[in-house]
């Protein structure tokens, strides 16, 4: 129950002895919750003359808005880009498992796929509220297939497409439906892309620029057409150049619409983005930074081969690469088969992988901690980059990513080192570290 009929008579919870992230500051205040929403205690005291039905001591910990991941390709063996018979059960498993990482809402992400995959998968992943069953689904993020061949990264070249013939109708024919779609990543240099951007934004869909060779002028024009986001900044785009900074230049451009904030995703996993690059982006435009995991199905699993959409990836430690073709299991005829245990990329007999990164295997709380350490930013800003900023990107800042009065009571309890101790959705405890250790 989120503030609907009967909310006034619902139980009131008071979280005490805590520091609340509100208005960009950590405040030593109590948090009041009723009917799934954050409650203004003054109205409770003076208008209703009520007190809390239950008090919970937080032991001096931090209470921050629940994390929102707008780019996650799967995890724990589940690949959102695989057209299985029961897509929903896979989404549900990931939704449940990411609660332990403080994520209360997410956008399941599909990488470049053939039309038949979109037609089967997209209708099976509806928008869904979070709860004890798992994090809420805010809508799909469709990353591709309308992207640059030169900057396709881990996306399979065979399934890339353009919309030069019929523009928006080509996009509709590829995806089948836009009913459950929240974000679309495309390359703005593609022919007739601005028509498509305008059509998508008119339908309330966020357009993100990525996997692109666009120069700064093309990127600026795309923003004027309605684009609002940059997919994993620095990755799969032209490198920064002093005469034409490309898409990266949007962070400091003076040619954007007045009052428009451009948001950009950052994969702070320690692999995709050098700490110096994280610091440059943060210092140039801190209010637009959105932490994303870009997690792949190998999240939560070990070394070895896993899927990502239509191809295989190879995990080696903390890094995932596009896998090469499997060699003959017996190896070259002049050599015996390898019988030695070793990391998956350490032997030519067992691996012919590439050096192309293919998503991350770091969960959101790890990204938050690495971002804080790498940039030296405040704890408040690191937490907002995973909560308030993605909510603002999606136009949900009144209900998500905030602990302001009236917002959804989705929040995470953290210790001083920003390790997750508990996760709440609609004011209900949905994961607790202490219980998980038992």
- Residues 210-236 have pLDDT tens digits of 999 999 999 999 999 999 999 999 999
Three-state secondary structure of 309-349? CCEEEEEECCEEEECCCCCCCCCCCCCCCCCCCCCCCCCCC
Whole-number pLDDT of residue 340: 40
Tokens standing for 118?
């979109």
Annotated binding site for Zn(2+): 143, 211, 232
Confidence of residue 434 (pLDDT cuts 50, 70, 90): confident
Residue 415 appears among annotated catalytic residues = no
Q: CA–CA distance from 205 to each of 103, 198, 352 (Å)?
A: 22, 10, 39
Q: Quick one: 120 exposed, middle or buried, by C-beta within 10 A (0-12, 13-18, 19+)?
A: middle
* Cα–Cα nearest to 305, from 358, 267, 235: 358
Q: Are 60 and 18 in contact (CB under 8 A)?
A: yes
Q: Where are the domains of the chain?
A: 12-64+403-432, 67-297+358-394
Decide if 12-64+403-432 and 67-297+358-394 have a common fold: no
Annotated binding site for substrate: 154, 235-236, 243, 272, 357-359
- Residues 267-310 have pLDDT tens digits of 999 999 999 999 999 999 999 999 999 999 999 988 888 888 88
Lowest average pLDDT, out of 19-28, 85-94, 298-307, 361-370, goes to 298-307
Q: Tell the CATH topology of 12-64+403-432.
A: Urease, subunit C; domain 1 (2.30.40)
Q: CA–CA distance from 371 to each of 229, 239, 368 (Å)?
A: 19, 21, 5
Lowest average pLDDT, out of 129-138, 310-319, 367-376, goes to 310-319
Report the length, in residues, of the chain.
438
Confidence of residue 3 (pLDDT cuts 50, 70, 90): low
Whole-number pLDDT of residue 342: 41
Confidence of residue 5 (pLDDT cuts 50, 70, 90): very low
Q: Which residues contact 258 (CB under 8 A, 6 or more apart)?
A: none
Whole-number pLDDT of residue 376: 97
Question: What is the number of other CB atoms lying within 10 angstroms of the CB of residue 405?
Answer: 14
pLDDT, averaged across the chain:
91
Q: Are 182 and 107 in contact (CB under 8 A)?
A: yes
Catalytic residue among 215, 294, 365, 408: 294
- Residues 312-371 have pLDDT tens digits of 889 887 788 888 754 444 443 333 334 444 444 444 333 445 678 878 999 999 999 999
| Whole-angstrom distance, CA of residue 71 vs CA of residue 376 | 24
Q: Are 297 and 304 in contact (CB under 8 A)?
A: no
pLDDT tops 50 at residue 125: yes
pLDDT tops 80 at residue 437: no
| Whole-angstrom distance, CA of residue 137 vs CA of residue 301 | 23
- Residues 63-77 have pLDDT tens digits of 999 999 999 999 999
CATH architecture, domain defined by 67-297+358-394 = Alpha-Beta Barrel (3.20)
Q: Are 357 and 348 in contact (CB under 8 A)?
A: no
Instruction: Work out the percent of the chain whose per-residue pLDDT is above 90.
Output: 81
Annotated binding site: 143, 154, 211, 232, 235-236, 243, 272, 357-359
């Amino acid at each position: 129950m989120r503030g609907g009929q009967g909310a006034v008579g619902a139980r009131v919870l008071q979280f005490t002895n805590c520091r609340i992230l509100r208005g960009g500051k950590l405040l030593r205040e109590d948090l009041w919750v009723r009917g799934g929403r954050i409650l203004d205690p003054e109205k409770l005291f003076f208008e209703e003359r009520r007190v809390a039905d239950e008090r919970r001591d937080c032991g001096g910990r931090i209470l921050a808005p629940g994390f929102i991941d707008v780019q996650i390709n799967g995890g724990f063996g589940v690949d959102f880009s695989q057209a299985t018979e029961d897509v929903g059960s896979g989404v549900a498993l990931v939704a449940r498992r990411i609660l332990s990482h403080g994520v209360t809402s997410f956008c399941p992400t599909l990488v470049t796929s053939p039309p038949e995959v979109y037609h089967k998968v997209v209708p099976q992943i509806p928008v869904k509220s979070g709860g004890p069953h798992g994090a809420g689904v805010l809508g799909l993020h469709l990353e591709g297939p309308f992207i640059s061949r030169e900057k396709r990264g881990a996306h399979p070249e065979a399934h890339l497409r353009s919309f030069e013939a019929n523009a928006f109708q080509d996009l509709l024919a590829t995806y089948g439906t836009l009913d459950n779609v929240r974000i679309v990543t495309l390359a703005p240099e593609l022919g007739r892309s601005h028509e498509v951007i305008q059509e998508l934004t008119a339908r309330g869909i966020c357009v993100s620029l990525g996997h692109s060779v666009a120069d700064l002028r093309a990127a600026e024009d795309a923003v004027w057409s309605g684009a609002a986001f940059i997919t994993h900044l620095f990755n799969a785009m032209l490198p920064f150049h002093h005469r034409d900074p490309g898409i990266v230049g949007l962070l400091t451009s003076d040619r954007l619409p007045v009052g428009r904030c451009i948001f950009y995703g950052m994969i702070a996993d320690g692999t995709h983005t050098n700490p110096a690059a994280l610091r440059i982006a943060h210092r140039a435009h801190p209010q637009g930074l959105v932490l994303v995991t870009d997690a792949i199905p190998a999240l939560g699993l070990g070394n070895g081969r896993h899927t990502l959409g239509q191809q295989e990836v190879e995990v080696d430690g903390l890094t995932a690469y596009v896998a090469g073709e499997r060699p003959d299991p017996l190896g070259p005829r002049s050599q015996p088969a390898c019988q030695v245990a070793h990391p998956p990329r350490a032997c030519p007999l067992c691996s012919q992988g590439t050096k192309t990164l293919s998503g991350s295997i770091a969960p959101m709380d790890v990204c938050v901690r690495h971002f804080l350490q790498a940039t030296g930013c405040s704890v408040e800003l690191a937490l907002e980059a995973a909560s308030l900023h993605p909510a603002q990107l999606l136009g949900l800042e009144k209900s998500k990513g905030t602990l302001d009065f009236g917002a959804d009571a989705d929040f995470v309890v953290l210790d001083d080192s920003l390790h997750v101790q508990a996760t709440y959705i609609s004011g209900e405890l949905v994961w607790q570290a202490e219980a998980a250790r038992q």
